[in-house]
Chains A and B, each alone.
Chain A
Amino acid sequence: MEMQVTDPLLSVDSLTIDIGGANVVDDVSFSVAPGKVMALVGESGCGKSLTSYAMLGLLPPAARRTAGRILLQGEDLAAMTERQFRKARGKDISIIFQEPTASLDPLTTVGAQIVEAYRAHHGASRAQAYEQARQMLVDVGIADPDRRLHQYPFELSGGMCQRIMISIALICGPRVLVADEPTTALDVTIQAQILDLMKKLVADRGTAIVLITHDMGVVADIADDVAVMYAGRIAEIAPVHALFQAPKHPYTALLLASVPKLEDAPKADLATIEGTVPTPNEFGVGCRFADRCPLVTDKCRREQPPLFDCGGGHRSACWHIDRMVEICEVAA
């Protein structure tokens, strides 16, 4: 039934992460094919960042993977030792973070940082590695690479630092790039440049991207598929057009309705989601969105909804998919 043409490069299978007895990531599954962008969307505390750290073997000490696999071309990353992971990280799978200036070493030139990443995986001479780094800077659209390589992070703007981070992440040609809010700290005109760069990398190199974001605009721009996460679970997963056109989960529908639209009257009331995201110790046995959901019934509080297949790769974890029309009325 699945419409996949290419085999997935990376698949996360029933990933569950525990912090202090609560499943802060609960049974999360998705996959991404080469040259595709999979977006994980959600608000703070939804588990999207933990999921991405797990993919890199970078979970904080308090977090423990209690179930699930992370398969990169058939190999289970989650079962790797730290030693094995060090070999994979950077070469097979890389990550870029939200705050580029905080992720770069302030005391080392950016050139040396890119070279270090390259030489960690290749037995190249320093000169060869510099040549690689120079080419990489050209690829990420930095003019005057020779001068930039010898500069320190503080001498560069935020957008430039993010290009450097992307260079470090991609210098060894990983097949998967995890991008954790890569443009959130940047101005919009610079955000547009970086998103275009990411699209180009996907097209030219066939890199698969797992994009973590809270910005529906960024998702609409770049994603092929979207997983909407809420309180540690996937609420809905779908190809991008299907998700925006006909959301099948009340949370997604309300989230989309709460973003001001082009056709809205000025100062009109926006749809809101009452209440706030539950903390892990407030997770009930049923649907975690139940307390904020306009469609809630007793069944929602009693029983956790599985991800129902709606066809066309669209799945939603809601007992009341047939009542989505009512949400559209609430939202309007």
Chain B
Amino acid sequence: MSDTNNVLEIRDVTVHFGGRGGLLGKAGPVVKAVNGVNLDIGRGETVALVGESGCGKSTLSNTIVGLQPPNSGSVRIGGEEVVGADRRKLNDIRRKVQMIFQDPALSLDPRSTIGATIAEPLIVRRIAKGKALTERVAMLLQQVGLRPEHADRYPHQFSGGQRQRVVIARALALEPDLVICDEPVSALDVSVRAQVLNLLVALQKRMGVSYLFVSHDLGVVRHICDRVVVMYLGRFVEMADRDTFFSSPKHPYTRALMSAVPEADPMIQRSKERIILHGELPSPANMPSGCPFHTRCPLATEICSEVRPELTPRPDGALVACHHA
């Protein structure tokens, strides 16, 4: 069952919050953040996790790195089970998976030099010290396009794009198998976004690292990913390889999402079919019956409010959870 080529294997993961005796012993509402998701990521593969705020993508990321234990299900990294692992085991597994967050200014200690920041995981793991450590840090800085002499500087002396390079260098220090990139370029200016995207691609080619790329920007996703997963209210609603996904999106939510992302070309943008979704995302504490998307779906019929559609394979290999797609 376990494929050694997969760096990540997620099975039936469910994460719910609250519900157990809240204030004054009254049971609060259960927030169903992630509901029974399955996902494999192969070595050197980039999988995009797409969805809007509140869809559960950050909760799922936290579960993968062991920061948020799931209510049920299994998360394996390089074949090792994360769920229920003891501290020592978890520590071992965590070396293989690292995270890069949206805002580099918030993920760097303002009082540490960036050299110390990048060295920290190497010291903690007793991988290098002394001269070897300095050399290792210098090499990491060069890999991300910075200079070794930058090691003595502080985060505030860098621009946003350079800070994100530092964060990437730190994430790569332990040579992880999987890096979870949570909106890694959203906070950056347009002209430096391309630099960071190029860097992520180059590092993958060189080191064979896999990425779980969490993003809402479908233009960036189309550029960098091999496979795309769309999440809505804690469930995967569509999963397909890049070309299939972009040439024939199937789930009505995916189609609405694609039509909502503005193309940077007025001719294309103004002539394209627009699907405007009405209403707002329902609360994950008050999940709609049946298909979670039926309250906003243009194709919804009676069955959609009664029976939740499962992810089913389509002839071109895509997996779609919809009665009508």
Contacts and interface: CB of A to CB of B under 8 A. Distances in A.
Contact of B190 (A187, A216, A220): A216
A324 B67 CA distance: 51
Contact of B159 (A187, A221, A261, A276): A276
Interface stretch (B32-40, B92-100, B269-277): B269-277
A160 B266 contact: no
Contacts of B263: 217, 220, 262
A212 B221 CA distance: 25
A244 B190 contact: no
B259 interface: yes
B280 to A, nearest CB: 5
Given A221-B262, A244-B265, A43 B191 contact: yes
A260 B219 contact: yes
A241 B191 contact: no
A196 interface: yes
Interface string A255-279: 1101111101011111111001100
B262 A260 contact: no
Given A187-B52, A187-B53, A272 B198 contact: yes
A151 interface: no
B198 A269 contact: yes
Given A192-B259, A272-B191, 16 more contacts: A44-B160, A44-B189, A157-B280, A189-B257, A214-B190, A217-B263, A258-B190, A258-B193, A261-B265, A266-B226, A266-B242, A267-B223, A269-B198, A270-B223, A272-B192, A276-B162
25 contacts: A187-B52, A189-B260, A190-B52, A192-B274, A193-B277, A196-B274, A216-B264, A217-B219, A220-B262, A220-B266, A220-B268, A221-B269, A221-B270, A260-B222, A261-B219, A261-B265, A266-B223, A267-B224, A269-B198, A270-B223, A272-B191, A272-B194, A273-B191, A273-B194, A276-B192
B280 A159 contact: yes
Contacts of A188: 52, 216, 257, 260-261
Contacts of A171: none
B268 A262 contact: yes
Interface of A: 43-44, 157-160, 187-193, 195-196, 214-221, 223, 240-241, 244, 254-256, 258-262, 264, 266-273, 276-277
B197 interface: yes
Nearest to B296: A189
Per DSSP, chain B at the interface is helix
Interface of B: 52-53, 159-162, 189-195, 197-198, 201, 216, 219-220, 222-226, 242, 256-257, 259-270, 274, 276-277, 280-281
B262 A218 contact: yes
A267 B201 contact: yes
B198 A220 contact: no
Nearest to A217: B262
Contacts of B269: 217, 220-221
Nearest to B280: A157
A191 B269 CA distance: 14
B194 A258 contact: yes
A267 B259 CA distance: 23
A295 B121 CA distance: 43
Nearest to A273: B191
Nearest to A242: B266
B195 A272 contact: yes
Contacts of A190: 52, 280
A254 B191 contact: yes
A255 B261 CA distance: 18
B190 A259 contact: yes
Contacts of A159: 280
Nearest to B260: A192
Nearest to B199: A272
A258 B198 CA distance: 10
A43 B189 contact: yes
Contacts of A240: 266
A216 B261 CA distance: 11
A270 B192 contact: no
A264 B195 CA distance: 16
A277 B242 CA distance: 34
A260 B195 contact: no
Contacts of A268: 223
A270 to B, nearest CB: 4
Contacts of A214: 189-190
A214 B219 CA distance: 15
Contacts of B259: 192
B255 to A, nearest CB: 11
A53 B70 CA distance: 47
Given A266-B242, A272-B198, A276-B159, A215 B262 contact: yes
Nearest to A241: B266
Nearest to A45: B189
A259 B261 contact: no
Contacts of A261: 219, 264-265
Interface centre among A215, A262, A268 (most CB of B within 10 A): A262
Interface centre among B160, B191, B222, B280 (most CB of A within 10 A): B191
A216 B223 CA distance: 17
Contact of A256 (B160, B220, B264): B264
Nearest to B224: A267
B223 A264 contact: yes
Interface centre among B220, B262, B276 (most CB of A within 10 A): B262
Contacts of B192: 272-273, 276
A264 B160 CA distance: 26
Contacts of A218: 262
Contacts of A255: 190-191
Contacts of A219: 264, 266
Contacts of A189: 52, 256-257, 260, 276-277
A44 B242 CA distance: 32
A128 to B, nearest CB: 30
